[in-house]
Amino acid sequence: MQWPWPRPLGINSGPSRRAAAAAAAAAAKKDKKQMSEGELQQLRLKINSRERKRMHDLNIAMDGLREVMPYAHGPSVRKLSKIATLLLARNYILMLTNSLEEMKRLVSEIYGGHHHHAAAAVAAYHPSACGAMSHGPPLPGHPVGHPMHHPLLPSTAATLATTGITAVRAAPPPPPPPAPIPQAPHPASHGLLKSPSPGSAPLGGAFPHWSGMPCPCSMCQVPSAAHHHVSRLSADSK
């Protein structure tokens, strides 16, 4: 259907329209009364199946969203819940927007309005790899000694906290960190791990971290947020 966004209330929903719909529903009900039990059951199964498919598609889309989120991926890592995924995605978008604005501002400061050079500088400074979150070794032109603000600043976990949502089974009362959170190395107790093994790469090496930047994951945004719950991975694939 061509309505991939929530339908605003009130569209085409005047009293007459509603009455018509109600009448149609009533008629359908009457038809259903005339249907045999078997036919009714067939119809129900068909509708249920459609709904299942719809929800599966929704989950696939949700998985797609998880894949591009700056968050741990991998078999040993528990999946973000749906609500956490959406909230993290929102913050991620806000962060990228802020990042872009900040970048523009810096560039225009540096180049003092020479837009041509400024644009080139932006391209060189902020390669697309940054957006792809593949932060391995520093990229050419991608400063390692980034000021403490890679603007992943709107804290996901903070938002989650303010919305009363626990990101990935957040552990209770996270004392809010006053300032930028120290990033490296990740504590072994980072969470989302099946069995935190000291010495092994945090998060199984699955988590892309910026060198010299705050970690974007909600784990780091709020200490002790999100722990355990790995076994649901298997349950999720039921």
Length of the chain: 238
Minimum Å distance from CB 219 to DNA?
Answer: 14
By CB under 7 A, name the one of 39, 42, 51, 127 that touches DNA: 51
Is residue 225 within 8 Å of residue 167, measured between CB atoms? yes
Question: In 3D, which of 184, 182, 202 has the Cα closest to residue 194?
Answer: 202
Is residue 119 within 8 Å of residue 51, measured between CB atoms? no
Tell me if 24 contacts DNA by CB under 7 A.
Answer: yes
By CB under 7 A, name the one of 56, 115, 117, 149 that touches DNA: 56
Q: How far is CA 87 from CA 62, 160, 166, 196, in A?
A: 12, 7, 10, 26
Residues 157-176 binding DNA (CB under 7 A) are 165-166, 169
What string marks each residue from 198 to 237 as x (binds DNA by CB under 7 A) or -? -----------------------------xxxxxx-xxx-
Candidates 49-57, 114-122, 149-157, 217-225 — which segment interacts with DNA by CB under 7 A?
Answer: 49-57
- Per-position DSSP letters for 149-205, written without gaps between them: --S--S-HHHHHHHTTPPTTS--S--PPPSSPPP-SSPPGGGSSBSS--TTSPGGGG
What string marks each residue from 67 to 96 as x (binds DNA by CB under 7 A) or -? ------------x-xxxx------------
Q: How far is CA 17 from CA 24, 159, 165, 174, in A?
A: 11, 40, 38, 50
In the complex with DNA, which residue's Cβ is closer, 187 or 212? 187
In the complex with DNA, which residue's Cβ is closer, 168 or 213? 168
Residues that bind DNA (CB under 7 A): 1-4, 6-7, 11-13, 17-18, 21-22, 24-25, 27-29, 31, 44, 46-52, 54-56, 59, 79, 81-84, 165-166, 169, 227-232, 234-236, 238
